[in-house]
């Protein structure tokens, strides 16, 4: 419990823990409990130290009011299974139910408050509205532990404002995430390879900008690659294309030659006549994409070339799948990259979001990688060189 020294002895204290329990649901069924499992060690440590643990978190993007589809009730039940203890559940975040549940906690007990985003004050851009909600949250606790890495890049009430109102500390999960990100930005072990995928170049502009001065090699796949291929003058058919970013991609390719940072694009892609799981796949060279086809994965030659670059690296960061991994016929590129990361002799980091979902869906164990981040957006913003409000507020 050394890292919570700033809180003093937590036994008997009400400790509000901001966790990241934002998991995918199919109805009431949790389809990937990775974030819940990642939140357990901090909650467990505080409980075992005698704290009365009050967990707050969000799920999805409700519109600032209660919505049964985004209730944390099934998440609280799963947390209880993982902790092997009863977990109390409050029907609201700061109302009568929350106050009654918190008042009923004994030392070591754990409660989960209903979705914090059911309250408009949580995500409000108005400091006063956000602050008023943070006051209500803070009234439920004696101390605050920030452990939701997936939200530390958000200036929200349960992440930022509440830390200004209570004695606070960084949770174990957030602490580990920051340590790993520092290894990706300070005194990096080289060669340093970054693999970027996902659908849109526009989501990755700032991180590409920053990494062109830091990485040795950028491997580009996923839907975003077709804007790069268009920048090279290739026909991309019906593939995802951000026409307004073609010139930006052309500039990146030019800058990479000047900076000595290599940008590697696929040489072949897997195309199909339509975006469907059972659409017939065809592998073509990147300069031979048919005008009536859509690119849905990097091809096998590219996957092998990417894997070879990854295998020779000492540090690898990967964010974004190489193709439509949810469809078996178009999961080959993502599988090859994931497999290569498991064989890295050094630090391999899977950068949260869809990449984390992909490795689990494809059957890889979490411990096969150096680190799987719980926060894709937060990881990217850190690598962009941005300050994360939920981290800076803890550094006083």
> Is 142 annotated as a binding-site member?
no
Query: Does the active-site annotation cover 386?
Result: no
Query: Does the active-site annotation cover 346?
Result: no
> Is 130 annotated as a binding-site member?
no
Query: Does the active-site annotation cover 223?
Result: no
> Is 78 annotated as a binding-site member?
no
> Is 61 annotated as a binding-site member?
yes
User: Quick check: 24 and 75 in contact, CB under 8 A?
Assistant: no
> Is 95 annotated as a binding-site member?
no
> Is 154 annotated as a binding-site member?
yes
> Is 20 annotated as a binding-site member?
yes
Pairwise CA distance, residues 39 & 47, whole Å: 13
Q: Which of 50, 131, 377, 385 is catalytic?
A: 377
Helix, strand, coil % over all residues of the chain, rounded to 5? 45, 15, 40
Q: Which of 353, 375, 376, 390 is catalytic?
A: 353
Pairwise CA distance, residues 225 & 295, whole Å: 10
User: Quick check: 313 and 192 in contact, CB under 8 A?
Assistant: yes
Torsion sign, CA atoms 235, 241, 243, 247: negative
Q: Alpha-carbon Rg of the chain, whole angstroms?
A: 22
User: Quick check: 269 and 299 in contact, CB under 8 A?
Assistant: yes
Pairwise CA distance, residues 332 & 330, whole Å: 6
User: Which among 35, 15, 37 is positioned nearest to 110, based on CA atoms?
Assistant: 15
Q: Which residues of 328-352 are buried (b: 16+ CB within 10 A; e: fewer)?
A: ebbbbbbbbbbbbbbebeebbbbbb
> Is 355 annotated as a binding-site member?
yes
> Is 219 annotated as a binding-site member?
no
Q: Which of 37, 73, 165, 200 is catalytic?
A: 200
> Is 210 annotated as a binding-site member?
no
Q: Are strands 14-18 and 143-146 parallel, antiparallel or unpaired?
A: parallel
User: Quick check: 336 and 314 in contact, CB under 8 A?
Assistant: no
Peptide bond into 191 cis (omega under 30): yes
User: Quick check: 383 and 315 in contact, CB under 8 A?
Assistant: no
- Sheet of 268-272, strands arranged across: 282-285, 268-272, 294-298
Q: Are strands 294-298 and 268-272 parallel, antiparallel or unpaired?
A: antiparallel
> Is 352 annotated as a binding-site member?
yes
> Is 107 annotated as a binding-site member?
no
Q: Which of 14, 18, 35, 78 is catalytic?
A: 35
Query: Does the active-site annotation cover 377?
Result: yes
Q: What are phi and psi of 319, to 5 degrees?
A: -135, 115
Q: Are strands 268-272 and 52-56 parallel, antiparallel or unpaired?
A: unpaired
> Is 354 annotated as a binding-site member?
yes
User: Quick check: 143 and 168 in contact, CB under 8 A?
Assistant: yes
Binding site: which residues?
A: 20-22, 35, 58-61, 117, 154, 204, 295, 326, 352-355
Question: Binding site for ATP: residue ranges?
Answer: 204, 295, 326, 352-355
Tell me which residues are annotated as active site: 35, 200, 353, 377
Q: Which residues are documented as binding site for (2R)-3-phosphoglycerate? A: 35, 117, 154
Annotated binding site for substrate, which residues? 20-22, 35, 58-61, 117, 154
């Amino acid at each position: 419990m050394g890292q919570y020294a700033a809180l003093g002895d937590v036994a008997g204290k009400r400790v509000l823990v901001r966790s990241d329990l934002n998991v995918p649901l199919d109805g009431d069924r949790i389809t990937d409990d990775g974030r819940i499992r990642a939140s357990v060690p901090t909650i467990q440590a505080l409980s075992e130290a005698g704290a009365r643990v009050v967990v707050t978190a969000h799920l999805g993007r409700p519109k600032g009011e209660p919505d049964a589809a985004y209730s944390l009730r099934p998440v609280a039940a799963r947390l209880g299974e993982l902790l092997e203890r009863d977990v109390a559940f409050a029907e609201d975040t700061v109302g009568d139910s929350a106050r009654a549940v918190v008042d009923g906690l004994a030392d070591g007990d754990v409660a989960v408050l209903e979705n914090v985003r059911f309250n408009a004050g949580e995500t409000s851009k108005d400091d006063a509205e956000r602050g008023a909600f943070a006051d209500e949250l803070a009234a439920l606790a004696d101390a605050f532990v920030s452990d939701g890495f997936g939200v530390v890049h958000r200036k929200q009430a349960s992440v930022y404002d509440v830390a200004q109102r209570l004695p606070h500390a960084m949770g174990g999960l957030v602490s580990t995430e920051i340590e790993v990100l520092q290894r990706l930005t300070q005194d990096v072990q080289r060669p340093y390879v970054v693999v970027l995928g996902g659908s849109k170049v526009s989501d990755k502009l700032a991180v590409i900008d920053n990494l062109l001065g830091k990485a040795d090699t950028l491997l580009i796949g996923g839907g975003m690659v077709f804007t790069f291929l268009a920048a090279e003058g290739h026909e991309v058919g019906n593939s995802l294309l951000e026409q307004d970013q073609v010139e930006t991609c052309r500039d990146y390719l030019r800058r990479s030659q000047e900076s000595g940072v290599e940008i590697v694009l696929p040489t072949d892609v897997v195309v199909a006549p339509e975006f469907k799981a059972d659409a017939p796949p065809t592998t073509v060279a990147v300069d031979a994409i048919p005008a009536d086809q859509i690119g849905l994965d990097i091809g096998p030659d590219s996957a092998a070339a990417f894997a070879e670059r990854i295998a020779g690296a000492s540090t690898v960061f990967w964010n974004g799948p190489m193709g439509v991994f949810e469809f078996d016929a178009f999961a080959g590129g993502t599988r090859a990259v994931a497999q290569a990361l498991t064989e890295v002799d050094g630090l391999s980091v899977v950068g949260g979001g869809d990449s984390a979902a992909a490795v689990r869906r494809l059957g890889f164990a979490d411990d096969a990688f150096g680190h799987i981040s719980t926060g894709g957006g937060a990881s990217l913003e850190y690598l962009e060189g941005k300050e994360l409000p939920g981290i800076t507020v803890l550094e006083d």
